Every structure is written in structure tokens, then in C-alpha cells.
Amino acid sequence: MKDNMRIRVVILFAIFVLLGVLAASLFAATTFSGKIRIQPTWAHSKVDVTTVTETFPYALYTFTHTSGTNADQMNLLWHESVTISAKGTNDFDLDGLVTNAFGEALDFVDVRLLFFSASSTNAGSVNVGGGPGALEGWLADVSDLLILKPGGVWFTCTPDTVGYSVGTNGGLRVVNTNATGVTVTIYAGGSDD
């Protein structure tokens, strides 16, 4: 009798734990907050009779954001590092066809942060932009290209509530014009509302 009661208690406890896990997964939320800070650690000196040094104790750029869809907020982050084959092209559609680190499909309404980095081991430059369905107002024409040289980066951030509108124009195109493969890392942050 006592064994039956213990079994029932264990089963009930297991059911409550399972229901708790299920409820938590149904109401799970993804948030995205943080800070971007670009701060050089340069030392600029001139040696003559005396040494004069210019230091840079301040950030060139700082953007602190909370999770959300208003100004100074983002709630979506996508990033990917890809190797593009010789003479190859990769199109990335931010209108529902990319996923975050948790495997969730992202449907950007606007993009407020873009970062591109070309590997220093790339044999040549990489073209970004010029593709069909480019972000509204950004490299939308086929002749609009951003050229990333090996080891180079390109970064833009628009912390207002508009950013670069995605709509049905959510494409980012990366083209390898080289005879060997290249590696590019891309970050996009924005909102879904």
C-alpha cells in the first residue's frame, strides 16, 4: 500500500515537472540587448627635442541597446560565417529565411546593424550588394557594390526606429570574384516590428 502511494506521488511529481517544462517552452522569449563599442588603443607620437604623444581615451562609436522595436532597441540578431566557392554567389534573405543561434526563423522588418568581415586569408576582394531584393535604400542597384578587401571590415548602425527597411526586399548578396574560395562573416541586427 505504501509502495503504491510512493509510486503515485512520484508519477504526480513527474507530471508536474513535465507540465512545467512544457509551459516554460510555450512562453519562452528571446531577448537581445547589449553594447557595441569601437575604441582604438592608438599611440600617436612625435619625437623631436621632446616627445609629444596624442592618445585616444574615448570611443569612436558606442551604441547601447535594449531588447525591443523602438529607437535604441533591437530584438533580432543573425550572424553567419560562410565560405563562398570560387566565382560563387551567396544570397541571404532576411525576410524569414535566416535563423538565429537558437534555430528560430527570423523575419526582419528593419535592419539597424550590419557588419561584414572578410578573412585576412582571402586571396582577393569580395563584393557585397548589387543583388535582387537588396535592403531598401541600401546597395539596391546592381551596380551598387561594397568592396571588402582581405582582412577588411565594414560596419553601419542606424539606431533609430526605421533603419533599413526589409519588407520583401530582404536580400544581402555576397559575391566572390576570385578563382579560390573566400570566407566572410556577416552580422545583422534589427527588429521584427
Per-residue model confidence as pLDDT tens digits over 80-110: 999 999 999 998 888 888 999 999 999 999 8
Percent of the chain with pLDDT over 70: 81
Residue 4 lies in domain: 1-30
List pLDDT tens digits, range 138-188: 777 778 889 999 999 999 998 887 788 886 667 888 999 999 999 999 999
Position 120 in a domain: yes
* Residue 104 CB partners (closer than 8 Å, separation 6+): 30
Q: What is the CATH number of the domain that holds 78?
A: 2.60.120.10
Beta strands 182-191 and 43-47, pairing class: unpaired
Q: Which three cell numbers stand for residue 46?
A: 612625435
Q: Which residues pair with 93 in a beta bridge?
A: 171
- Same domain as 85, residue 11: no
Give the mean pLDDT of 2-23.
Answer: 58
Residue 132 shares a structural domain with residue 184: yes
